[in-house]
Amino acid sequence: MIGNALLHLLLLFLLSPLLLGVIGKTKALFAGRWGAPLLQPYFDLWKLARKGMVLSETTTWVFLAGPLIGFAVPPLAALFIPFGALPAPVSFSGDLILFVYLFGLSRFFTAGAALDTGSSFEGMGAAREVTFSCLAEPTLLFVLIVLARLAGDLSLGAMLGPTLPLSWHQAGAALGLALVSLFVVLLVENSRIPFDDPNTHLELTMIHEVMVLDHSGPAFGLILYGAAMKLFVLGAVLVRMALPMTYPNDWLNLAVFVAGMLALAVLIGVVESIMARLRLIRVPQVLVGTTLLSAFAMVLLLRQ
């Protein structure tokens, strides 16, 4: 139990920046460049950790709570998720609600920290972030409800547990729709390209980046690390849904999971390379569309 939890956290802490590296490398290769080394995100984090930090005099404790909670939430949430065939260390009935709203808590404090600076510009980013995530939330919940209904259990550990291959067999269509919807949620929640560009510093188009403009040094490092871990945790749900098999050999299971995560990072990189950013007014349209898609997946299930 304790060993399992430690293994979970170790995987999370060690591998999450690598995903960003793989995404960056994929995009660079698509653009015909060689790109930054795969380990660049680790170097960036190390660089930020050694820097000094500037704190505005107008800010309060909320300004520092944002990065800290953004860093603390993903490891907590990771404990409810099975990493591949590794069972979830903590599991109780109804933990899916806690899982969803842990991220809600971190979003609240990130937006709070942005508002705390008193900059109208960051307020705009916070408003956008909150709007889009409130549109993405129903999709995430519908996907989880589909999983819960298939597994007949309300804990994430069981929903993403050994019953999944059977569910794919029984209700492959509904799970497929849920998988696609979850991928869109993953892109929105982690501010990836069709919805937000993580590299841009062009004011009018920024969503997530604009909220963290005033953070510097270690606090900014915590934000980046937290964002990478969030991508890892949500990606783990997606990879588990897509690769539900369990092998008798633990190492093989682990290898399948890590390979799945890396493939997911490559997929995100490909999506970012071949798609343009959506116009802001189109984003809610797409999110309503995926909500309907996931709701439709549930209708398909109810029929059975």
Partner 1 sequence: MHDLNNLLLLSVILCNFFTLGSSRLGACIRVVALQGAIISLLPVTVHGPTGHSLLLGVGALALKGIFIPWLLFRAIREVRIRREVEPLIGYIPTLLIGALSTSAAFIFAEHLPLVAEHRDSLFIPTALATLFTGFLLLSTRRKAITQVLGYLIFENAIFILGVLLAEALPLMVEAGVLLDLLVATFVMGIVINQINREFSTLNTERLSALKE
Of 10, 97, 173, 202, the one binding partner 1 (CB under 8 A) is 173
Q: Which is nearer to partner 1, 76 or 293 (CB)?
A: 293
DSSP 51: S
Q: How far is the CB of 13 from partner 1 (least distance, A)?
A: 39
Q: Which stretch binds partner 1 (CB under 8 A): 47-55, 137-145, 235-243, 296-304?
A: 296-304
- Restricting to residues 247-286, which ones interact with partner 1 according to CB under 8 A? 284-285
Q: CA-to-CA distance for 241 and 227, rounded, in angstroms?
A: 21
Q: CA-to-CA distance for 85 and 8, rounded, in angstroms?
A: 12
- The answer for residues whose C-beta is within 8 angstroms of residue 127's C-beta and 6 or more apart is none
Is 242 a binder of partner 1 (CB under 8 A)? no
Is 165 a binder of partner 1 (CB under 8 A)? no
Is 288 a binder of partner 1 (CB under 8 A)? yes
Q: One symbol per residue from 174 to 193: x for binding partner 1 (CB under 8 A), - otherwise; what is it?
A: ---x----------------
Q: CA-to-CA distance for 162 and 264, rounded, in angstroms?
A: 21
Q: Which is nearer to partner 1, 35 or 176 (CB)?
A: 176
Task: Check: CB of residue 136 under 8 Å from CB of residue 189.
Answer: yes
Q: How far is the CB of 290 from partner 1 (least distance, A)?
A: 10
Q: Which amino acid is at 89?
A: P
Is 166 a binder of partner 1 (CB under 8 A)? no
Q: CA-to-CA distance for 253 and 235, rounded, in angstroms?
A: 16
Q: CA-to-CA distance for 226 and 232, rounded, in angstroms?
A: 10
Task: Check: CB of residue 55 under 8 Å from CB of residue 222.
Answer: no
Total binding residues toward partner 1, as defined by CB under 8 A: 14
Q: How far is the CB of 276 from partner 1 (least distance, A)?
A: 14
Q: Which stretch binds partner 1 (CB under 8 A): 88-96, 100-108, 153-161, 289-297?
A: 289-297
- The answer for residues whose C-beta is within 8 angstroms of residue 136's C-beta and 6 or more apart is 184, 185, 188, 189, 287, 290
Task: Check: CB of residue 147 under 8 Å from CB of residue 160.
Answer: yes
Looking at the DSSP bridge assignments, the partners of residue 86 are 83
Is 300 a binder of partner 1 (CB under 8 A)? yes
Q: How far is the CB of 65 from partner 1 (least distance, A)?
A: 36
Q: How far is the CB of 300 from partner 1 (least distance, A)?
A: 8
Q: CA-to-CA distance for 96 and 164, rounded, in angstroms?
A: 16
Of 37, 118, 152, 172, the one binding partner 1 (CB under 8 A) is 172
Is 50 a binder of partner 1 (CB under 8 A)? no
Q: One symbol per residue from 122 to 161: x for binding partner 1 (CB under 8 A), - otherwise; what is it?
A: ----------------------------------------
Secondary structure class of 83 (helix, strand, coil):
strand
Q: How far is the CB of 292 from partner 1 (least distance, A)?
A: 4
Task: Check: CB of residue 219 under 8 Å from CB of residue 48.
Answer: no
Is 295 a binder of partner 1 (CB under 8 A)? yes
Q: CA-to-CA distance for 130 and 132, rounded, in angstroms?
A: 6
Q: How far is the CB of 170 from partner 1 (least distance, A)?
A: 11
How many residues are there in the chain? 304
Binding interface with partner 1 (CB under 8 A): 172-173, 177, 284-285, 288-289, 292-293, 295-296, 299-300, 303
